[in-house]
């Protein structure tokens, strides 16, 4: 056993490299004695203490700086040890225990009185897990007690997938770290509520909803879908770790890059060039595939040494490798001094759900939909709602200004009713998105100032989003800032070709005199992008948009099949 002691402020944290079962004798003794020990699992490193010892549990919260209203997961070595911690094992729980334990899954069940309130945050349920990592299972077995263990990091920072991550966060705060190498999965376990007849995923992970459905079907339990409830509502105690607070976040801000595989390099390049204009000399941390990193090294070959830092995860479509390396990448790029970290988005299916859940939390993004969005199911024909979508490149300048102006005009003109049935009132609103937008960026400050100064319109709460199929499917009319934007959308999403126009072509189709258009817009290429320009340029752009949209409003309403109620 190789042991080294790291002293901070008089407190020594021992770090032991695991080689054999003998190396677990001391950490097992420490856990039985009420101390806290960090150990590896297949998901992330855990910070373990005797789950039945309230004083030991308090040491976990103190070491992590974690609020005690967040429940802990209890780890056991064998399935027959679960019975002593829960009051009931439902058929659904039995099915998932048999299918996935040991493994990266936590099952939330009704607890019995042996589990202290401090472990469950006062809830009547407890999360139970049997890790697949041999070191973790041996340690639990040798300790002879169930081990309550959150991730072994300071609360709010990325979870640790290496022993050195734990040491950096918790040196001088805990007694012992078992170094069992890198974690294989790299993202926390899937948490599933199995107290009822249907599974509810409280935190996505490597065990996906598709896998759960498949195993339940084999067991004779059939559901149309697995419910997902990954967010703790305000004022409620979270039922699972990962449902509250800004988890998994490095110090550096994180920008999520969304694009199809063929356009990912261009999306990175566009977003990074925008950052360079906003923050000249800023250090850019890139977490990306091997292919994207190779392309970016060519594109940014002339930047100063050290201004772009790369962390590769593997091939472009390998979401499993991206998930395995996500936390190490966030930590490494943060430690290297990145002023902003750029990371790839993946589709929200399968393992991509877990990856995006963690990445969006790292980026500080709220998963809840804008209340204006998601009102129309894909392909639906809701006659009581109309949405207009404005599209530009990055969704921080032109399109959010157009959205704000359009909604202000609507507010002055409304309410609205269907032309075909004036007795039916219709909700109308505008949204905006960008073709190469990152998620969660605010509107450019000059855009905010221009609208506030000219019209008293506040878009300070705007956050950028990328155009995608779900957003487009609920949109009745799409207006882009340039013809190139419209061409891109029609090529990428052929199904919306009949309702996507650039503002110029819509203007022309409305039979408005062309000299009016020329008087409003000097550039034949569309609405010029004011990105990086002075406030005066933003004011000119806002003024142009206001005149265009005011002139187009009757034709837009006609396209939507609605009219102001005052016309009735």
What pLDDT, on the 0 to 100 scale, is given for residue 553?
92
What pLDDT, on the 0 to 100 scale, is given for residue 338?
96
What pLDDT, on the 0 to 100 scale, is given for residue 510?
67
CB 527 within 8 A of CB 543: no
> What class, spelled out in words, does domain 385-567 have in CATH?
alpha beta
Give the residue from 565, 546, 395, 406 showing the smallest Cα distance to 485.
395
Task: Provide the b/e sequence for 177-207 (b: ≥16 CB within 10 Å).
Answer: bbbbeebebbbbbbbbbbbeeebbbbbbbbb
Instruction: Please tell me the pTM assigned to this model.
Output: 0.69
What pLDDT, on the 0 to 100 scale, is given for residue 186?
97
| CATH topology agreement for domains 254-362 and 385-567 | yes
CB 118 within 8 A of CB 50: no
pLDDT in tens, the chain (568 residues): 455 555 554 468 999 999 999 999 999 999 999 999 999 999 999 999 999 999 999 999 999 987 777 899 999 999 999 999 999 999 999 999 999 999 999 999 999 999 999 999 999 999 999 999 999 999 999 999 999 999 999 887 899 999 999 999 999 999 999 999 999 999 999 999 999 999 999 999 999 999 999 999 999 987 766 777 655 544 455 666 655 545 567 888 898 887 766 788 988 998 898 888 878 899 999 999 999 999 999 999 999 889 999 999 999 889 999 999 999 999 999 999 999 999 998 877 789 989 988 998 888 754 433 333 333 333 334 456 899 999 999 999 999 999 999 999 999 998 999 999 898 888 899 999 998 887 778 899 999 999 999 999 999 888 888 888 778 888 999 999 999 999 999 988 898 999 999 988 887 776 666 666 556 665 556 788 998 889 999 999 999 999 989 989 999 999 999 999 988 7
Residue spans of the domains in the chain: they are 2-228, 254-362, 385-567
- Tell me how far apart the alpha carbons of residues 246 and 366 are, in angstroms, rounded to a whole number: 9
Give 245's contacts (C-beta < 8 A, 6+ positions apart): 67, 70, 155, 156
CB 369 within 8 A of CB 387: no
What pLDDT, on the 0 to 100 scale, is given for residue 6?
54
Chain mean position to CA 123: 26
- Tell me how far apart the alpha carbons of residues 294 and 308 are, in angstroms, rounded to a whole number: 12
User: Which structure tokens are listed for 156?
Assistant: 């709010």
Residue 439 phi, psi (nearest 5):
-85, 135
What pLDDT, on the 0 to 100 scale, is given for residue 242?
57
Query: Which residues partner with 286 through β-bridges?
Result: 310, 342
What pLDDT, on the 0 to 100 scale, is given for residue 372?
36
What pLDDT, on the 0 to 100 scale, is given for residue 82?
98
- Tell me how far apart the alpha carbons of residues 72 and 232 are, in angstroms, rounded to a whole number: 15
CATH, domain range 2-228: 3.90.870.10
What pLDDT, on the 0 to 100 scale, is given for residue 247?
58
What pLDDT, on the 0 to 100 scale, is given for residue 516?
62
CATH, domain range 254-362: 3.40.50
């Amino acid at each position: 056993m190789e042991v080294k002691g790291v002293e901070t402020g008089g407190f020594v944290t021992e770090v032991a490299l695991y080689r054999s079962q003998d190396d677990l004798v001391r950490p097992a003794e420490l856990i039985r004695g009420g101390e806290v020990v960090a150990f590896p699992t297949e998901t992330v490193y855990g910070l373990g203490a005797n789950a039945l010892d309230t004083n030991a549990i308090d040491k976990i919260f103190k070491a992590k700086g974690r609020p005690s209203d967040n429940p802990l997961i209890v780890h056991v070595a064998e399935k027959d040890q679960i019975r002593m911690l829960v009051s009931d094992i439902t058929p659904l729980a039995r099915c998932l225990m048999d299918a996935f334990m040991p493994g990266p899954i936590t099952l939330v069940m009704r607890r019995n009185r042996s589990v202290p309130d401090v472990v469950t945050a006062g809830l009547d349920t407890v999360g139970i897990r049997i890790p697949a990592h041999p070191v973790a299972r041996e340690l639990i077995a040798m300790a002879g007690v169930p081990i309550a263990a959150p991730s072994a990091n300071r609360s709010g920072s990325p979870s640790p997938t290496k022993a050195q991550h734990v040491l950096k966060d918790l040196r001088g705060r805990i007694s012992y770290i078992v170094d069992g190498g890198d974690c294989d999965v790299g993202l926390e376990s899937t948490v599933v509520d199995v107290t009822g007849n249907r599974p509810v995923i409280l935190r996505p992970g490597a065990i996906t909803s598709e896998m759960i459905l498949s195993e339940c079907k084999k067991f004779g339990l059939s559901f149309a879908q697995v419910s997902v409830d990954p967010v703790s509502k305000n004022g409620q105690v979270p039922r699972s770790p990962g449902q509250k607070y800004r988890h998994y976040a490095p110090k550096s801000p994180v920008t999520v890059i969304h694009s199809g595989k063929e356009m990912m390099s261009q999306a990175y390049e566009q977003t990074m060039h925008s950052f360079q204009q906003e923050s000249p000399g800023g250090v850019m941390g890139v977490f990306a595939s091997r292919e994207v990193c190779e392309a970016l090294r060519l594109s940014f070959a002339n930047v100063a040494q050290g201004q772009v830092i790369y962390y590769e995860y593997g091939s472009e479509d390998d979401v499993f490798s991206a998930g395995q390396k996500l936390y190490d990448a966030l930590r490494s790029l943060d430690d290297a001094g990145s002023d902003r970290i750029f990371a790839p988005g993946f589709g929200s299916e399968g393992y991509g759900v877990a990856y995006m859940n963690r990445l969006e939390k790292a980026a500080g993004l709220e998963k809840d939909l804008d209340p204006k969005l998601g009102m129309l199911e894909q392909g639906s024909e809701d006659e009581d709602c109309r949405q207009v979508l404005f599209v530009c490149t990055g969704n921080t300048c032109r399109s959010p200004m157009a959205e704000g102006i359009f909604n202000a005009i609507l507010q002055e003109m409304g309410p609205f009713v269907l032309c075909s049935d004036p007795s039916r009132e219709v909700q109308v609103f505008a949204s905006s998105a960008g073709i190469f937008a990152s998620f969660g960026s605010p509107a450019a400050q000059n855009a905010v100032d221009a609208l506030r100064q000219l019209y008293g319109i506040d878009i300070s709460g705007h956050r950028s989003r990328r155009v995608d199929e779900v957003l487009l499917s609920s949109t009745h009319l799409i207006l882009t800032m340039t013809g190139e934007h419209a061409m891109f959308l029609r090529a990428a999403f052929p199904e919306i070709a009949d309702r996507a126009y650039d503002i110029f072509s819509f203007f022309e189709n409305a039979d408005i005199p062309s000299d009016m258009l020329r008087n409003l817009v000097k550039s034949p290429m569309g609405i010029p992008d004011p990105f990086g320009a002075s406030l005066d340029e933003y004011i000119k752009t806002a003024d142009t948009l206001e005149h265009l949209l005011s002139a187009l409003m009757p034709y837009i309403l006609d396209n939507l099949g609605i009219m102001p109620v005052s016309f009735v």
